[in-house]
Structure 1
Amino acid sequence: MFYAINQKEYLANFLKDAGIQLSNNSTEQSVKPFVCNMKI
């Protein structure tokens, strides 16, 4: 409950702008091939 209250400003921005994506899955999927091919 406190997390949602502390994030109220960011959640409100999400609700105001339909173009903001709630998930970052598309970004993670685009970076994944580079990360998986890195040698440690």
Structure 2
Amino acid sequence: MRVLIDTNVVLDFLLERELFVESAARLFRQISPNELNTI
């Protein structure tokens, strides 16, 4: 599956925004083992 990751999701992860960091981290964990293709 291909996904487009919005800049805000990247910022949520990098800045560890309290309400969103877990969701963003879960997304990045899925990208790591090649479950998702990013564009």
TM-score bracket for the superposition, by shorter chain length: 0.3 to 0.5
Higher relative contact order (CA 8 A, sep 6+): 2
